[in-house]
Amino acid sequence: MAPTWSAERFGTVPRLYIEAALDRSVPIATQREMWRLTPGASVVTLESDHAPQLSASDELAAELVRWLSSLV
- pLDDT by residue for the chain (72 residues), tens only, comes to 887 777 777 778 899 999 999 999 999 999 999 988 887 889 999 999 999 999 999 999 999 999 999 998
The pLDDT of residue 47: 97
Which residue type does 58 have?
Answer: D
Q: What is the pTM of this model?
A: 0.82
